[in-house]
Amino acid sequence: MTPPRILALDFDGVVCDGRPEYFETAWQAYVAAWPAPALTSSRPARIAARFSALRPLIESGWEMPLLVHALLAGVGDEALKDRHAWLAAPGLMKPAGVSAETLGRALNTVRDDWFARDSAGWLAHHHFYPGVAGQIATLLGGPIEVVVVTTKAERFVRLLLTSADPRLAQVTVIGREPGKPVPKPDILRRLADRAGLGADAAGLWFVEDMLETLEATAQRPALAAARLFLADWGYNTPDDRAAVARAGRIHLLSLTTFAGPLARWGGVIV
């Protein structure tokens, strides 16, 4: 098996579990941005637990305070499974007169303020998955370029990486850029071009925990030979993992396999 030239890794849910930070930030943003009467008289522990379990449903930051509200308002897990339905449900945002923009801005403000005030506390709300930092550090000494491709801001990712292991300062990080988000398949193709990979991106491996992102990547002819891995330890559902395990282009990867030799990852295109 030929090893990759580029190993692209998503950050949240692949390298790092940021769910404690997500919930704290989402809660504070909800309290700050939701017009009265916000349902914030208490913060039940069960809300935090459900929020973490439902994390795979979240794609954008503004959805997080809305999920907090939906949980406090008693929306059930079944209804929340269909993200397009509950996000658009007229009973949630409309009566309160809040918008996605308001919630997104509140979330970013809360995170920036927290980070500026107490970066150690902010860092402590993140946990690297066991073995991941070690595997990345080992690869950095070799011919494979490790690139973190994330929708998080680069400065946050850099600090988290170096706080986990100072050697990880060498990792290339492609984070959220100002302006319209660039889809990950576009970023991957740019990486392939920069490394001189061929028209089908053979030599590029990509580990991601969101199935939709991998499916979008699989549809790109210009990424037809990239190897795609769904991180089974990340923010995805049993249904996602079952769909991948049945066959097809996307290979299911465990944390133990990730931390071991790349030759054993599998994912050969058939």
Q: Which residues bind Mg ion (CB under 5 A)?
A: 10, 12-13, 209
What per-residue string of b and e applies to 105-140 under the rule 16 or more CB within 10 Å gives b? bbbeebbeebbeeeeeebeebbebbeebbebbbebb
Identify which of residues 102 and 151 has a Cβ nearer to Mg ion in the complex: 151
Name the minimum Å distance from CB 229 to Mg ion.
12
Residue 259 burial class via C-beta count within 10 angstroms: exposed 0-12, middle 13-18, buried 19 and up: middle
Identify which of residues 10 and 145 has a Cβ nearer to Mg ion in the complex: 10
Identify which of residues 10 and 98 has a Cβ nearer to Mg ion in the complex: 10
Name the minimum Å distance from CB 29 to Mg ion.
20
Identify which of residues 18 and 203 has a Cβ nearer to Mg ion in the complex: 18
Identify which of residues 24 and 209 has a Cβ nearer to Mg ion in the complex: 209
Name the minimum Å distance from CB 11 to Mg ion.
7
8 Cβ neighbours under 8 A, 6+ residues apart: 147, 148, 149, 188, 191, 204, 205, 206, 207
Name the minimum Å distance from CB 147 to Mg ion.
15
Name the minimum Å distance from CB 210 to Mg ion.
5
CB 7: neighbour CB atoms within 10 A? Answer: 22
